[in-house]
Structure 1
């Protein structure tokens, strides 16, 4: 009889711990600097406790001259593939449980030529504005996103600082992923 009570208490404890983790509030901090570090730093928090502190992911290095040549080609490719990408992703279901606590994205760059620098910076502004507008439809921002594009007409370089912190409840995120996967299966 005592062993049955012990098993029931153990099962109830496991269920409570499982429910706690489903309702737990998680936050993820992402930091990226280009070309200084080219390392993606990720920190994960459970409530206010840091679970993973600055996990660094090394990203491949980009050649500056190749980037300069492909600015306009990349923009043309992005315009063509943007709509197809959005049709494949089920962003509303995936992004609904996420709250953006902090969003900062600063870009400074130029090609050394005033005309191409202006085109490049205008393209960056357009991409950032479109992305923030699109994500703003589905995400809740606690503060206004801080985006900045600074042209550098004299130098041939590209610098970027990106920092973002999102929070979510684990159970709601799992439900959003399941909905997105079900929607994809239904459309097939």
Structure 2
């Protein structure tokens, strides 16, 4: 009888746990050679993870490249990274469906995204600012279609016409129920296994 009660309580706790929300707070700042991110995970109101990630050793990933201020040679690393994300989403249909399934129950409680950009040339800085605004609008529209904003997002692009400098800062807090996160993760694993199976089958066919 005692063990029956213990097992029953354990099952009830597991069931209740599936409905508990996980809150993730992400603070990310990207500055050449001084970039870092902070992640805090909470189950309900209890912190379970606090982690700071430094990108200082990877500064070359986000440095402003040397350029001659001509439109043909211009390439901003932030725009490239955002464009890579968008292209990746659009190119993989199966992953896209599963990622959207994962994003659908996600609630966004805070979203602030500010960027300061400049290349030392006023006209090219204006072009860059417009490109960043357009890219942010695309990503924000995608998030609005597949996630639940509980507050109005805030995005800014501040052009620096007399400086060669770039900085992006993102402050975000999201939540998802544990059960929903587990289900979505399982679906992603299934998709990965299917793709790996297709690759192995294709390799065998070619050989």
Question: Could you list the per-position Cα deviations for residues 130-150 of structure 1 after superposition, in whole angstroms to 9, with x for gaps in the alignment?
Answer: 000011001110111100001
Structure 1: state its 5+ residue gaps.
none
**Structure 1 residue 87, shift from structure 2 partner:** 5.9
* Residue number among 153, 166, 175 corresponding to 1:167 in the alignment: 175
TM-score (norm 2): 0.76
Q: Which residue of 1 aligns with 2:80?
A: 74
| 3-state secondary structure, aligned to 2:65 | helix
Runs of 4+, deviation exceeding 6 Å = none
Contact between 1:75 and 1:123, CA under 8 Å: does it hold in 2? Answer: no
TM-score scaled by length of structure 1: 0.83
Conservation of the 8 A alpha-carbon contact between 1:96 and 1:176: no
How many residues get paired? 183
- Which of the numbers 122, 125, 134 marks the counterpart of 2:130? 122
Contact 2:24-2:173 at 8 Å conserved across structures: yes
Give the Cα separation in 1 of the matches to 2:94 and 2:178.
Answer: 25
Q: Secondary structure of the equivalent of 1:61?
A: helix
**Runs of 5+ consecutive residues of structure 2 not aligned to the other structure:** 68-73, 199-207
* Contact 1:93–1:177 (CA under 8 A) maintained in structure 2: no
Residue correspondence of structure 1 range 152-163 to structure 2 within 5 A: 152-163=160-171
Given the alignment of the two structures, is residue 33 of structure 1 paired with residue 29 of structure 2, yes or no? yes
User: CA 1:164–1:155 in 2, change beyond 3 Å: closer, same or farther?
Assistant: same
Q: Which residue matches 2:59?
A: 61
